[in-house]
Amino acid sequence: MNESRAPGTKAARQALIVSLLQAADVRSQVELAQRLESSGFAVTQGTLSRDLVDVGAVRVRAKDGGLAYALVDNDGGGDTQAATHKLTKLTQELLLSAEGSANIAVLRTPAGAAQYFASAVDRAAWDDVLGTIAGDDTVMVVTRDPAGGAAMADALLALAQEGNHGRRHE
């Protein structure tokens, strides 16, 4: 029997949190921690709190009047400054390389991280980005400028450098 398994990474854990919050009402961090543990992720309360902030989860009124966690939609005029901050953190953690051609920037990430990274690019809502397409370890960012691919690659590499001032990144 083949059982699907996820790596024990922060990105995989946060992707599972998003999936769990989208699938059903989750009333508390204790309940969420139990669901994560049953999927192979044991987390502390502190880690879970940070993960909820990172994925944009907040407590809202559920249909039955109780409180449940829900994901905040940053695409429709949400806090793009927070989304850009998150993108900066993710470029430092996940961006392996970036290269531009015409209006496309091709980004490489660790295996399994591309869709998560593309979502962060989308949520940052940069005017220059027309959209993203993600595979397993590659993200294609399409820019509005017909010659903007190289500039987009450079901008994302610069974000990755913000936390790595002492290292040269090629």
Q: pLDDT, tens digit, for every residue of 82-132?
A: 777 788 888 998 999 999 999 999 999 988 888 889 988 988 889 999 999
Q: Between 29-38 and 45-55, two packed helices, what is the crossing angle to 10 degrees?
A: 100
Q: Which residue in 2, 120, 1 sits closest to 54, CA to CA?
A: 120
Give the residue extent of every domain in the chain: 10-71, 80-161
Helix, strand, coil content of the chain in percent (nearest 5) = 45, 20, 40
Q: Which residue in 134, 137, 133, 139 sits closest to 110, CA to CA?
A: 137
10-71 has which CATH code? 1.10.10.10
* Candidate ranges 9-23, 53-67, 116-130, 138-152; pick with highest mean pLDDT: 138-152
pLDDT range class, residue 147, cuts 50, 70, 90: very high
Q: Which residues contact 170 (CB under 8 A, 6 or more apart)?
A: none
80-161 has which CATH code? 3.30.1360.40
**Segment 6-27 mean pLDDT:** 86
